[in-house]
Amino acid sequence: MFPDQFLFGVEVMLNGLMAGVLYALVALGFVLIFKASGIFNYAQGVMALFGALTLVGIMDGQVPFAHLINSVFGTDVHHFGWHVPAFLSILLVMVVMVGLAWCVQHFIFRHLVGQEPIILFMATIGLAYFMEGFGDMMWNSEIKKLDIGIPQGGSMWIEEATSFLGGTNFYGFFIDKLEIVASLVAIVLVIVLVAFAQYTKQGRAMRAVADDHQAALSVGISLSFIWVLVWSLAGFVALVAGIMWGAKSGVQFSLSLIALKALPVLMLGGFTSIPGAIVGGLIVGVGEKLFEFLIGAPFLGGATENWFAYMLALVFLVFRPQGLFGEKIIERV
């Protein structure tokens, strides 16, 4: 039998992996847009929030802009009084995300073609705050419960099956079913995305645009179409992240802050690498949980999860600035 302490460590690591999946999902959205257009999308986290908010809103039959409507027309409407099934709602939100992608391209980035990266970045900050405000106005700012029927709570099956590993104080690994589902969904999502990029016409065009804009134009690829496409894909990824995060801790505006955790993930994985985003996410997830368990809680007074990822990113920036999988930066002199 293993010592209990070791088994707890393993459990912490498993939970870290699950948390890492969510970081990886958000980071993946960043990478998609960054690769294809060179835009660092600060609004990725808010897109996750917006997706989750819209999903809850549609499922619960909330009237969008209820506050605005009520104050202008003196009415008192809040709900349509119907409930939309989860599956149908998700499809509708996907349509909304495509619409959002189109708007972003049509109203913002179409006018900023050829601008400096910092200008594009500032534009996404503006977009992030606009969307946060818009989401608030549309669906109001209460914390909402998101229940699309994903099982929750610890998996008894895993606990029972693993309890024999330790002594009498060990009851088996506690792993939330929600996190298992989230991981499976994330794996499927990544496989679908990679297959899309590798084997479809649109995916090939997407990779072409990511590589060289001018060459892409010369073979007849419409850049604006591809940009709408990648923003849509990033929107879907954000939606999945938003659903998982929302199901776990409720849909609230702090959800948009998970975008910041994706930054160290990107530093680790490299800004242009999809496998990098995934591995980076897992490393950050496992790293911060293990560090807290082994060093943080016993020696540093805990709460190291808040800064560990950023410290790790800093170390990476010094020793391997291109990240684990990023292309090596070679400047020709």
Partner 1 sequence: MFDQPESFVTSDGRTIGGVMMEMKNITLRFGGVVAIQDISFDIREGEIRAIIGPNGAGKSSMLNVISGFYNPQEGEVWYKGERRPSMKPFEVARQGIARTFQNIALFEGMSVLDNVMTGRLNHMKAGILSQAFWYGSAQREETENREVVERVLDFLEIQHIRKTPVSRLPYGLKKRVELARALAADPKILLLDEPMAGMNVEEKEDMSRFILDVNDEFGTTIALIEHDMSVVMDISDRVVVMDYGKKIGDGTPKDVRSNQAVIDAYLGVAHD
Query: Which residue blocks in 74-176 are alpha helix, DSSP H?
Result: 86-103, 117-139, 156-162
Nearest residue to 222 (alpha-carbon basis) of 55, 110, 70: 110
What is the x/- site pattern for partner 1, positions 179-208, by CB under 8 A?
Answer: --------------------xxxx-xx-xx
Tokens 């998982």 correspond to: 244
The whole-angstrom separation of Cα 77 and Cα 202 is 43
The residue (of 188 and 294) whose beta carbon lies closer to partner 1 is 188
Residue 218 within binding range of partner 1, rule CB under 8 A: yes
Residue 10 within binding range of partner 1, rule CB under 8 A: no
CA distances from 322 to 84, 117, 325, 330 (A): 45, 18, 7, 10
The residue (of 209 and 278) whose beta carbon lies closer to partner 1 is 209
Of the ranges 114-122, 140-148, 217-225, 233-241, which one interacts with partner 1 (CB under 8 A)?
217-225
Residue 74 within binding range of partner 1, rule CB under 8 A: no
Which residues sit opposite 144 in a β-bridge? 251
The residue (of 88 and 192) whose beta carbon lies closer to partner 1 is 192
Min. distance of Cβ 326 from partner 1 in angstroms?
A: 12
The residue (of 224 and 249) whose beta carbon lies closer to partner 1 is 224
Among 71, 168, 169, 214, interactor with partner 1 by CB under 8 A: 214
Of the ranges 41-49, 98-106, 110-118, 214-222, which one interacts with partner 1 (CB under 8 A)?
214-222
Judge whether 149 and 162 are in contact, CB under 8 Å.
no
DSSP letter assigned to residue 296: I
Residue 212 within binding range of partner 1, rule CB under 8 A: yes
Total residues in contact with partner 1, by rule CB under 8 A? 21
Residue 211 within binding range of partner 1, rule CB under 8 A: yes
Task: Output the six-digit token pair for 328.
Answer: 């090596």
Of the ranges 2-10, 20-28, 85-93, 216-224, which one interacts with partner 1 (CB under 8 A)?
216-224
The whole-angstrom separation of Cα 127 and Cα 134 is 10
The residue (of 207 and 248) whose beta carbon lies closer to partner 1 is 207
The residue (of 205 and 265) whose beta carbon lies closer to partner 1 is 205
What is the amino acid identity at position 280? G
The residue (of 174 and 196) whose beta carbon lies closer to partner 1 is 196
Measured in degrees and rounded to the nearest 5, phi and psi for residue 62 equal -70, 145
The residue (of 50 and 236) whose beta carbon lies closer to partner 1 is 236
Measured in degrees and rounded to the nearest 5, phi and psi for residue 88 equal -65, -40
Helices (H) and strands (E) in the chain, counts: 13, 0
Min. distance of Cβ 195 from partner 1 in angstroms?
A: 8
> Cβ contacts of residue 26 below 8 Å, gap of 6+?
44, 45, 48, 237, 238, 241, 258, 259, 261, 262, 265, 281
Among 220, 299, 301, 333, interactor with partner 1 by CB under 8 A: 220
Among 161, 188, 217, 260, interactor with partner 1 by CB under 8 A: 217
Judge whether 219 and 84 are in contact, CB under 8 Å.
no
**Binding footprint of partner 1 on the chain (CB under 8 A):** 199-202, 204-205, 207-208, 210-212, 214-223
